[in-house]
Amino acid sequence: MSSQKKKAFQIEAFKHRVVVDPKYAEKTWKILEHAIHEIYNHNASGLSFEELYRNAYNMVLHKFGEKLYSGLVTTMTSHLKEISNSIEAAQGGLFLDELNRKWAEHNKALQMIRDILMYMDRTFIPNTHKTPVHELGLNLWRDVVIHSHAIQSRLQAILLENVRRERSGEVIDRGLMRSITKMLMDLGPSVYQDNFEKHFLEVSADFYRLESQEFIESCDCGEYLKKAERRLNEEIERVSHYLDTRSEVKITNVVETEMIESHMHRLVQMENSGLINMIVDEKYEDLGRMYCLFRRVSSGLVLIRDVMTSYIRDTGKQLLTDPERLKDPVDFVQQLLDLKDKYDKIITSAFRNDKTFQNALNSSFEYFINLNSRSPEFISLFVDDKLRKGLRGVTEEDVELVLDKVMMLFRYLQEKDVFEKYYKQHLAKRLLSGKSVSDDAERSLIVKLKTECGYQFTSKLEGMFTDMKTSQDTMQGFHASHGSDIGDGPMLSVQVLTTGSWPTQLITTCNLPAEILGICEKFRNYYLGTHTGRRLSWQTNMGTADLKATFGKGQKHELNVSTYQMCVLMLFNDADRLSYKEIEQVTEIPTSDLKRCLQSLACVKGKNVLRKEPMSKDIADTDTFLFNDKYTSKFFKVKIGTVAAQRESEPENQETRQRVEEDRKPQIEAAIVRIMKARRVLDHNNIVAEVTKQLQSRFLPNPVVIKKRIESLIEREFLERDKGDRKLYRYLA
Amino acid sequence: MEKESELIRRCIEAACQSKESVEKWRKQRRTLERLPSHLSQSLLRNLLRRRLLFPSLLEVFKYSMEEIDLRGENSVDAEWMAYLGAFRHLRSLNLGDCHRINNSAIWSIVGMTSLKEVDLSRCMKVTDAGVKHLVSISTLEKLWISETGVTANGVALLASLKNLSVLDLGGLPVTDSALNSLQALTKLRKISNQGALVLQRFPKLSFLNLAWTNVTRFPNLSALECLNMSNCTIDSILEGNGDKAPLLKLVCTGATFMNEAEAFLYIKTSSLSLLDVSKSSLSRFGILADMKMLEHLDLSSVTMGDDSVEMILCIGANLKNLNLSSTRVSSDGIGILVGHVPKLENLSLSHTAIDDVALSYIGLMPSLKVVDLSSTNIKGFILQPGTESHMDSTLTALQNLSYLESLNLEHTQVRDPDLHPLSSCKKLSHLSLKCASLTDATLHLLSSLPKLTTLHVRDAVLTTNGLDAFIPPTTLRVLDLMGCWLLTEDAISQFLKKHPQVEIRHEIVQNLSTEHQTISDRLSTSQQSLKGPQWNKKQGNLPMPEFLLYNREELLALQFSPLSLQSPHDAGSVTPNLADEEDLQLYLLEFSDGKLKTGLASHSHLSIIPIVTLGVAPSV
Amino acid sequence: MKRKDTVKLISTDEMEFVIDKDAAMVSQTIRNMLTSPGPIDNWVFLGGFAETELGEVTFPEISAVILEKICQYFYWALQYSRGKETEFHIEPELTLELMMAANYLHT
């Protein structure tokens, strides 16, 4: 305690304070200077806080704040210079350690100094806008120690060396690194950045550039990706342990750029291990890794997506243009489904269900499915196959699965109306031949189609089902009322088909055997009796008959044949041999049908209930037919019906297509009229656009066709051309 | 500086409790050198406020004060100065309006080497002799001696103050020769003077106050930023060679322009940010065209009409404040402005002929915060042609002003239903209404304004019930109900009890609180920041001050005070000697209709001179 | 007997006041004094000032009367912050010195 203070504070005395002279200031400062020295030399315990605080307080109070402050700066600076020297003197590995230690000591000292100079910090410094003590201490440390030439470069070098060592597998003192980087951050973000981070990033970039080059020469894609991932994780971990968190994104950027972005293309295209190979080999883990890594890089995913998409398209295109494949539609469609499944799986398991990939997959499918104009037909055949036999014995859930998959393919079709046409045909055949596996499955599919395309699409199909049901009821009624009449006569089962719902067929007739005619008449009368205003016409080209036939040695067989075949066979009840011409004359079956029918009766092994002379595969006008007494068959029931739906022959296909085109015309016209009615006046391009938009759920209209339709409508005075502008059309009410 | 701590505050309060308290500690020590400057200031301020300061007490502060502000303290005299002279570290001394300061008082501060700033504005008794003393303070850097008794000779003496950088000589009869001698003051930055040719010698002059002087023309001053030539007769400004001064502020209130075309020819108008030509003779406004940086434009009381508004258009881009009160601008003029004043925050159109049409235009000025529409033809509604019964409130236009904070509709004919749209002005904090046709419904309407802090509803027909039922917004602090003569004392005190956070202004309340106020407090409640009458307790007679102003409240307060005035109230309420008319000149402010209401009508011997407003020359 | 959570304040005329640490910490200066950094574990660093070690502070420039008043204020401030709003009376003759001491102690 300084004695001169003793006489200061007594209440009674008169205080004419002597003006404080500069010497006083100098003395006081010396005390404080000494104290600072002691603090730096770890001798603070001998000092009295109160005394020092009081001295500083007095200096500021008596307006010597400036002296105190500048003294502080000088003293601290000189101490730091000493410290700086001692750090520089440290050898090799001890450098960081010494730096760290001295830093901690400095902080401690700084705090103590700040505490005793608190009054100056509170009053003098804000008034004069000087730097507060704590900040001053940090700034001086930064300037004198860190930015001292020797230390700065050495520090940087050692830090970077440590990182390098750790990258090559050595273990380093992470705690020490942490303290040092923390110190840099405390001194200011720019200090950290300039003294460390900037260089760290540069060096890392070089390091990874080199390493990635090495790897890419020596590893295959999957291995490389593994390595890249490992390095990435390593860096993230490094940041969490001893770097500033804000460095994370920067260093990961570096790794991503050097290891991934620079080699992106090469990796993807890598022979035998690139993306395509991974897809083909279903390497889900590798694909997943690639996805995660590439995601970090801009346009990384785009690359993957593009490569994958073009591969899918190629595969699809191949599939669709391969004539071998196209021979078996069912198999073909199955291949498509398998393809879709495969990629779905890849996207789900490796690509995290990424929507953009899903979209790319969808658009690819859409693209190549429509490359082949027969796709709608094939899909319908696929469905047909499944509904006939493929889904036999399959659980309800699995049925749904298959149907959903079919629907998915259906959605890709551009010409949905073509599909509709075929589907109708195939459905008709299924219904009429009673060959559908499960009525529920059929209906389920109809519902799905309805959901997808609307009521119009499926109304006729539903009509077909209704007809079947109604026919059942009608038959019941018929048998109930006429049961007694029939007696021994043939059993008749009639399906009454509403003309509009079922696929159009040419009405053909033939001469039915007398026995049949009778009962048919009975039915006709019955039906027309209960339903007025309708016309019935027998569709003899469809229909089947079960005949009981007795052959030479008395074998009895039940033959299941078509109506035409029945007519022909019944003739042989009265004659043993008949010439072609005779048969034709009596039955009046159309030629091609007759030929086909005879072919299947006489020329097919195991089904030759007739014998043909001369024996040959084809039917000539001059052939003669005999009842084959010697016919044998293992089975009691023999089916000689017409085969199931097949893929159409070329000409048939053409025909169907034509019909489809015809059907489209009125739809286009209707669309045009609808649009013009609403818009009144519209130009050509817009009409085309609107029409396309309206019809795209069914098919893609051809602009040329649209134009023709417009002309047609103009002729019929639904529209007119504008006088001034030839491209403008006006609706005529 | 940080705030005082709790303990220190209490100490100061305890110290300033009363005379006795002061005595007690005064005895202890003669100086306070251990007290930091800001605490001494605080103590002094408190002592001043409690009127406990007297000369010998000043000695206590001898070693600790650096600046002293004794503005307006009439008790300050030579004795005070004597003590002040002993202050060791005094740097700044403000004695403005200390009317007792005379030359001998100044003698006390002779030779103070720490003194750098001295303000003696309006110390009438200071003359040239006093200046002689001042010049001995060679460290003086800033000196204000406007409106003192100093003459040209005195000013000439100032030449020896080599360190002078700010010099305020407003209103002094300075001559050219005196000014010449000031050339020696090379550091002079701020000077207000007359006879200006010599100003060329002050190249660094940035601030010039020539108000009330006879300057007619003066030369170029290329550093000049602020120029005040109010009430001067202006011939030309800043004519001369060299760079044009980048003038930022130009104030020419009440000036007479001899030659308008030439007057502004030499000013670099493109940097001007403030132009005040209110009450001047300016009639041609073409000069406005270049002032693209103008933020503040005051054209009040100028003869301008709608045609001149076009001039404002070109410069509207930066305009923040526009004062067109008392001009001939009409609603059409306002219409012209729309769209050209995107930053306009403050618009004053009081005492113009605008009507409701203008409101729709005003609604289109998006940045408006403060709008003064008092004393205009605004009615609040427009009669739709053809349908007399259907009237739209024109104030709905104001709802578009999302920043509107203050609205003045005093002396318009707006009635209750027309005020409806205001209830959706979310930011409105100040609203002034004064119209005899307003009723309780107005109060009710306004209780929904979320940010209202100040509400004036004057002269309205408000009943006790209405006031009772009024639920003020939670932010309301001031409710001015002057002139609502139906309200009783009870009603008001009831309201105050229910809503203690609201301050009510009313003639009755004025009186109630007058009982407890001291003179000095009265001095500070005058509304226009002009001084109320000043009474010296010791003298019983009326003094003859230069400006004696009553605002309306004070005058109405008279109705309740007895007229025998030889002995003023103990509490010091203002009671002029009304019998002595010749001695009294009353200047009244804000009298709406020239008539006094109720109370004073009975004092018929009073002759009042109505509606004269008088201002002190602005010291910019 | 000195308990752990008290501190001794000594005036210029050697009067001793033992008060709770909590109360003493009302003064920022005393707070800083007592919480000035202590020794770091790993290193040989004799941290802290003499006062921290001994738990007592001497104020050679504050008299006993004033110091007593200051201590009273400490306790009063604690009470006040806990919600008890009472008056703290200051005798006029103490005000100036008390002010200076308060400024010194940053109270």
Kindly report, residue by residue over B307-332, the tens digit of the pLDDT. 888 888 778 788 888 888 888 888 88
Q: Is residue B334 within 8 Å of residue B349, measured between CB atoms? A: yes
Residue B545 scores a pLDDT above 50: no
Model pLDDT for residues B410-459, shown as the tens digit of each residue: 888 888 878 888 888 888 889 888 887 788 888 888 888 888 888 888 88
Q: Which CATH class is domain A543-639?
A: alpha beta
Q: Is residue C75 part of a domain?
A: yes
Are the C-beta atoms of residues B465 and B440 closer than 8 Å to each other? yes
Cβ-count burial of C44 within 10 angstroms (0-12 exposed, 13-18 middle, 19+ buried)? exposed
Contact C88 B32 (CB under 8 A): no
Inspect the interface and report whether the beta carbons of B1 and A127 lie closer than 8 Å: yes
In chain C, what residues touch B34 (CB-CB under 8 Å)? 100
Percentage of chain A beyond pLDDT 90 is 23
Burial B169-188 (b: 16+ CB within 10 A, else e): bbbbebbeebbebbeebeeb
Residue C97 lies in a domain: yes
Is B566 part of a structural domain of the chain?
yes
Cβ of A240: how many Cβ atoms within 10 Å? Answer: 10
- Stronger pLDDT, C48 or A366, i.e. the higher one: A366
Average pLDDT over residues A323-347: 87
**CB contacts, 8 Å: C46 with chain A:** 42-45
* A39-53, B201-215, B376-390, C62-76: least confident range: B201-215
Question: Would you place residue B546 in the very low, low, confident or very high pLDDT band (cuts 50, 70, 90)?
Answer: very low
Contacts C51 to A, Cβ<8 Å: 48-50
**Residue among C45, C66, C104 whose CB faces A42 most closely:** C45
Separation of alpha carbons A392 and B536, rounded Å: 120
DSSP-derived pairing of the beta strands A624-627 and A577-579: antiparallel
Q: Does residue B503 have a pLDDT over 90?
A: no
Beta bridge partners of B381: B393
Chain C residues with CB-CB distance to A119 below 8 A: 104, 106
Instruction: Give the least confident one: A295-304, B217-226, B349-358.
Output: B217-226
Query: Do the Cβ atoms of A10 and C63 come within 8 Å?
Result: yes
In degrees and rounded to multiples of 5, residue A5 shows phi and psi of -80, -15
Residue A1 has pLDDT above 50, yes or no: no
pLDDT in tens, B475-486: 888 888 888 877
Residue B52 DSSP one-character state = -
The confidence band for A289, taking pLDDT boundaries of 50, 70 and 90, is very high
Among candidates C32, C40, C58 on the partner chain, residue whose Cβ is nearest the Cβ of A115: C32
Read off the pLDDT of each residue in C76-83 and give the average, rounded to a whole number. 84
| Structure tokens that stand for A256 in this block | 């991503």
Residues 6+ apart with CB under 8 A from C2: C8, C18, C55
Beta carbons of A482 and A526 less than 8 angstroms apart? yes
Residue B370 inside a domain? The answer is no
Structure tokens at B268: 């670099």
- The residues, any chain, with a CB within 8 Å of residue B598's CB and separated by 6 or more, are B485, B559
Q: How many pairs of residues across A and B have Cβ atoms under 8 Å apart? A: 24
Residue B80 has pLDDT above 90, yes or no: no
Q: Is the per-residue pLDDT at A44 higher than 80? A: no
For residue A683, the model assigns a pLDDT of 87
pLDDT(B366) > 80: yes
Q: Is the peptide bond before A323 cis (omega within 30 degrees of 0)?
A: no
- Span A633-653, average pLDDT: 71
Decide if B247 contacts B287 (C-beta within 8 A). no
pLDDT 10s digits, A241-270 = 999 999 999 999 999 999 999 998 888 888
Residue B549 pLDDT class (50, 70, 90 cuts): very low
3-class SS of residue B555: helix
Residue C36's pLDDT band, with cuts at 50, 70 and 90, is: low
DSSP A494-508: -----TTTSPP----
Residue B71 has pLDDT above 70, yes or no: yes
The single-letter code of the amino acid at A446 is I
Work out whether the CA dihedral A255, A258, A259, A262 comes out positive or negative.
positive
pLDDT (mean) for A536-560: 81
Q: How many helices (H) and strands (E) does chain A have?
A: 32, 9
Q: Residue C96 domain-assigned? A: yes
Distance CA B377, CA B411 (A): 9
Q: Whole domain around residue B578: which residue ranges?
A: 544-614
Q: B touches which chains (3+ CB pairs under 8 A)?
A: A, C
DSSP-assigned letter for residue C27: S
Sign of the C-alpha dihedral computed for residues A368, A371, A373 and A374 taken in this order: negative
Q: What is residue B250's predicted lDDT score, i.e. its pLDDT?
A: 75
Domain A16-145 class, CATH top level: mainly alpha
CB contact under 8 A, C103 and B14: no
CA distances from B384 to A462, B333, B361, B412 (A): 67, 22, 18, 20
Flag whether C72 is in a domain.
yes
Find, in chain C, the residue whose alpha carbon is nearest to that of A43. C46
* pLDDT confidence bin for A160, thresholds 50/70/90: very high
Percent of chain B past pLDDT 90, that is, above it, reads 0
Q: How far apart are CA B95 and CA B68, in angstroms?
A: 9
Q: Does A126 touch chain B (CB under 8 A)?
A: yes
> H-helix or E-strand containing A335?
helix A329-349
Rounded CA gap, C28 and A608, in Å? 119
Select the highest-mean-pLDDT range: A462-471, B180-189, B196-205: A462-471
How far does the CA of residue C96 sit from the closest CA of chain B (Å)?
7
Evaluate whether C60 touches C12 at the Cβ level (below 8 Å). Answer: yes
**Which residues of chain C have a CB within 8 Å of the CB of A47?**
49-50
**pLDDT (tens digit, 9 = 90+) per residue, A191-206?**
999 989 999 999 999 9
Tokens 């003395």 belong to: A27
Backbone φ and ψ for C25, nearest 5 degrees, come out as: -70, -5
Q: Is C46–A105 a contact, with Cβ atoms under 8 angstroms apart? A: no
What are residue B238's phi and psi, to 5 degrees? 60, 30
What average pLDDT score do residues B243-271 get?
68
Amino acid at B486: L
Q: How far apart are the first and last CA of chain C?
A: 27
Strands (E), B394-500: 406-410, 430-434, 454-458, 478-480
Q: Give dist(CA B257, CA B405) in Å, integer.
A: 36
B129 part of a folded domain: no
How high is the pLDDT of residue A610?
A: 82
A728 strand-pairing partners: A683
The predicted pLDDT at position A14 comes to 30
Q: Please, what CATH class does the domain formed by A650-731 belong to? A: mainly alpha
List the single range of A606-610, A723-727, B5-9 with lowest mean pLDDT. A606-610
H helices, E strands: number in chain B: 18, 27
Q: Report the pLDDT value the prediction gives residue A13, as an integer from 0 to 100.
A: 32
What is the C-alpha radius of gyration for chain B, rounded to an integer number of angstroms?
27
CA angle A440, A462, A329 (to 5 degrees): 70
The whole-chain average pLDDT of chain A stands at: 85
How many structural domains does chain C have?
1
pLDDT digits (tens, 9 = 90+) for A465-481: 888 888 888 888 888 87
pLDDT at B265 over 70: no
Do B222 and B200 form a contact (C-beta atoms < 8 A)? no
- Which letter, b or e, does each residue of B77-109 get, where b requires 16 or more Cβ atoms within 10 Å of its Cβ? bbbbbbbbbbbbbbbbbbbbbbbbbbbebbbbb
Total number of domains in chain B: 1
Q: What distance lies between CA A638 and its chain's CA centroid?
A: 51
CATH of the domain at C67: 3.30.710.10
Chain C residues with a Cβ under 8 Å from any Cβ in chain A: 12, 28-29, 32-33, 36-37, 40, 43-53, 57-63, 65-66, 93, 97, 104, 106
| Assigned token pair, C15 | 């009067």
First-residue to last-residue Cα distance in chain B: 27
Residue A238 has pLDDT above 60, yes or no: yes
Residue A121 CB neighbour total at 10 angstroms? 18
Give residue C38's region: left, alpha or beta (phi > 0; psi -120 to 50): beta
DSSP code for B355: -
How many angstroms separate the CA atoms of B98 and B32, rounded? 26
Instruction: Give domain limits for chain A.
Output: 16-145, 543-639, 650-731
Nearest CB neighbour to C90, from listed B5, B14, B35: B14
Pick the residue with more confidence: B619 or A413? A413
What's the pLDDT at B559? 45
Measure the CA–CA gap between B551 and B208, rounded to whole angstroms: 33
Q: By mean pLDDT, which of A380-389, A446-455, B18-27, B164-173 is the weakest?
A: B164-173
Count of CB atoms situated within 10 Å of the CB of B373: 27
Higher pLDDT, A640 or A153: A153
pLDDT at B591 over 70: no
- pLDDT for B6-31, tens place per residue? 888 888 888 888 888 788 777 776 56
Q: Which chains touch C (3 or more CB pairs under 8 A)?
A: A, B
DSSP structure string for C40-87: -SSS----S-HHHHHTEEE-TTS-HHHHHHHHHHHHHHHHHHTT----
| Phi, psi (deg, nearest 5) at residue B125 | -80, -10
Q: B117-119 and B142-144: which strand pairing?
A: parallel
pLDDT tops 60 at residue A546: yes
Mean pLDDT of chain B: 70
Element (H, E) at B587: strand B587-588
Q: At what angle do helices A174-186 and A221-242 cross, to 10 degrees?
A: 60
Instruction: Give the tokens for residue A335.
Output: 């291949």
Q: Which of A694-708, B406-420, C36-50 has the lowest mean pLDDT?
A: C36-50
Number of helices (H), then strands (E), in chain C? 5, 3
- pLDDT tens digits along A56-66: 988 888 888 88
Q: A614 falls in which pLDDT band (50, 70, 90)? A: confident
User: Does residue C1 form part of some domain?
Assistant: no
Of B11, B22, B28, the CB nearest to C99: B11
**What 8-state DSSP symbol labels residue C17?**
E
* pLDDT tens digits, one per residue of A78-91: 999 999 988 988 88
Tokens for A464? 């077909």
Chain A residues whose CB is inside 8 A of the C36 CB are 49, 111-112, 115
CA distances from B536 to A484, B75, B524 (A): 142, 10, 16
Under a CB-based contact definition with an 8 Å cutoff, are residues B205 and B221 in contact? yes
